[in-house]
Amino acid sequence: MNTYFKHKPSRKWTWRSPGDRTRQMIDYIMIDRRWRSCISNARSYPSVIVTNVENDHNLVLANFKVRFNVQKRTNTIKQDIEKLRIPEVKERYEIEIKNRFEALSSMIEEASLDEALDIVNHTIRKTAEDVIDFKRYRREPWISDEVLNLAIQRRTIKAKISINPQDQDLKQKNTQLKNVIKPLNTRGKKSNRAHD
């Protein structure tokens, strides 16, 4: 690796002949090709002197930085359980869960303990998905639910445009949504600044 980087000759030579007549590069750092991008620099250090050792070789040093692939965390979508405080939503959820468990009661009785637990967990999650909305995370506090809904609509239209780029109706809808979202965002930002 010490031949891979451009350095002046005094940073390249690693061995000095007796009497200091010639200087050669005879010491190398070797590395597997897949790790080559981890080395940021490699060179010799002629000025480093190791005490109590007579040596005609220079120290050769490389900067090695290992980068591992980190798995991105997937955002888990959570239900907005605060909506269960709304009486209509709570009642709808209770009725839905009761109906589903009545339908699954015989299945749960016949299943083993682990299978029954899986069925119960799946039923609760599925009911919550159907009845309760998902919790929306906002990076900015001024973004309203209306803007988030419009952004979701625009995102689906953009996905359709990427499949069919010649569709002028989709492009026109995308532009219309963009023109609706922009003033709403501006208004939200201004009102947020007024509260600060």
Dump pLDDT digits (tens) for 56-66: 888 888 898 88
Reported confidence tier of residue 190, pLDDT bands at 50, 70, 90: low
Taking the C-alpha atoms of residue 167 and residue 47, their distance in angstroms, rounded to an integer, is: 69
| 8 Å CB contact between 174 and 158 | yes
Q: For the chain, how long is the longest CA-to-CA vector?
A: 96
Is the pLDDT at 99 greater than 60, yes or no?
yes
**Mean pLDDT score of the chain:** 81
The whole model's pTM is what?
0.39
Q: What is the pLDDT of residues 119-143, one digit of tens each?
A: 888 888 888 888 887 766 666 666 7
Low-confidence winner among 22-36, 138-152, 175-189 (lowest mean pLDDT): 138-152
Q: What is the dihedral of CA 181, 182, 188, 190, to 10 degrees?
A: -170
Q: Give the per-residue pLDDT at 77.
A: 67
Taking the C-alpha atoms of residue 137 and residue 6, their distance in angstroms, rounded to an integer, is: 49
Burial profile 31-45: b = 16 or more Cβ within 10 angstroms, e = fewer: eeeeeeeebeebbbe
Q: What is the pLDDT of residues 61-93, one digit of tens each?
A: 889 888 777 777 666 667 777 888 888 888 998
Give the start-to-end residue ranges of the domains of the chain.
Answer: 9-64, 81-131, 145-195
Q: Give the per-residue pLDDT at 196.
A: 54
Reported confidence tier of residue 1, pLDDT bands at 50, 70, 90: low
Question: What DSSP designation does 111 have?
Answer: S
Q: Quick one: angle between helices 168-195 and 145-163, nearest 10?
A: 150
Reported confidence tier of residue 152, pLDDT bands at 50, 70, 90: confident
Q: Give the per-residue pLDDT at 35.
A: 85
Percent over 90 (pLDDT), the chain: 1
CB neighbours of 186 closer than 8 A, spacing ≥ 6? none
| 8 Å CB contact between 29 and 2 | yes
Q: Give the per-residue pLDDT at 5.
A: 82
- Strand 15-16, strand 59-64: pairing: unpaired
